[in-house]
Structures are given as structure tokens and as C-alpha cells.
Amino acid sequence: MISRLDLPTTVPTRSAVVVIRRATLDDLGTVLRLLTDDPISAARDGASGASGQEALLAHSEAFRQIAADPGNDLVVAEDADGVVVGTLQLTLIPGLSRRGSARLLVESVRVASEQRSAGVGTALMRWVTDQAAPALAVSLVQLTSDAARVDAHRFYERLGFVDSHVGFKYAVEGPGNDA
């Protein structure tokens, strides 16, 4: 948990508000559904071959590690009815470049399919850039996005993110591989 983030907080969308708060273990099932609510993620997470119970145990352990790590936060966005409609993970990365400044890595940004284009994703990302990043005194907010997520790329560019680097991955064989 990144303790310097003042959560929960309320942020506006186009037509309503959402509450951004830290995810709890009770949110895990909903977050996992959001993470697999597209063909790219569904194929990747379905490829592990783990049974439902094995996968739930692995995800529960991963959640516990994120929650216990002072440089990580998993947040959710709730609508007025308390329904989780979005999520993202933040990782604070200290560094030596950029005069020793820290970076904020944004990962696993997802919005419920029925809420896409309603401003939830924009609200989440504006909270990251306008509130979380300054509170954490970072010099850069960065993210990666699968090359096939063309709509997501347009979304990030509309928010002012610049396609400035080429990313590389190396898939390590074994359980939990999500190359």
C-alpha cells in the first residue's frame, strides 16, 4: 500500500462520480473479472491450465503481496451503487535517472465493459496524473499497453500520454507466466 495516497476519494466522470479506494480481498473476484473482460487477457489467463481453485489461491497470494508491498497499490473505482466498475495497479519505482526521481507505473487498467466510454477510465487516469502522481512526488507516470490494444492507445494519447518507447518482454517458463 502506498500510504501517501489519500484514499478513498471521489472523482467526477462525465455523468456521475466514482469513489476510488484501495481494493480489498473481497474485491478480488470482481477485479479478476475486469482483468479478463477482453479477448487478449482472457486468452492469456486461460492459458495457464490451473484449475479454478489453484488460480484463486495464486491470485489471492498475489493480492496479499501487492497489499503488503509499500510500493504498490491496487485500487478500484465504485459507482454510486457501490459496484466496482474499474481498477488499476500502481507501482512506485525509485530510480537513479532523472536526477534520482521516482516513477509511477500504471498497470492493469480495466473498466467494466458496460461502463466503457462513460468516463470511468478517464476519471481513474486523471486521478493518477493529477492527484496520485503529485502526492507521490514522481517525475513521470508511465504505463505499458499490449500492442494489440489500439483503442487503449488512442485513449492514453487523448489523456496526454506519449508513445515514446519500445517495450520488450522475456517470457520465463513456468507457472504464472503472463507474457
Per the CB < 8 A criterion, the answer to whether 134 and 128 are in contact is no
pLDDT at site 47: 45
Q: How far apart are CA 83 and CA 76, in angstroms?
A: 10
Q: Which of 10, 8, 9, 17 is nearest to 119 (CA)?
A: 17
Which parts of the chain fold into alpha helices (H)?
Answer: 28-35, 39-46, 52-68, 97-100, 120-127, 133-136, 150-158
For every residue of 152-176, DSSP letters joined together read: HHHHHHHTT----------PPPSTT
pLDDT at site 39: 73
pLDDT at site 43: 66
Least confidently predicted of 7-21, 33-47, 60-74, 93-107: 33-47
pLDDT at 134 over 80: yes
Which of residues 45 and 75 earns the better pLDDT score? 75
Q: 87 forms bridges with which residues in the sheet?
A: 76, 110
Per the CB < 8 A criterion, the answer to whether 156 and 120 are in contact is no
pLDDT at site 6: 95
Q: Distance between alpha carbon 41 and the CA centroid of its chain, in Å?
A: 13
**Measured between alpha carbons, how far apart are the two ends of the chain, in Å?**
25
DSSP category for residue 16: S
pLDDT at site 167: 86
Residue 161's pLDDT band, with cuts at 50, 70 and 90, is: very high
pLDDT at site 169: 87
pLDDT in tens, 76-114: 999 999 999 999 999 999 988 888 889 999 999 999 999
Average of per-residue pLDDT values in the chain: 90
Strand 138-143 versus strand 102-111 pairing type: parallel
pLDDT in tens, 11-34: 999 989 999 999 999 999 999 999
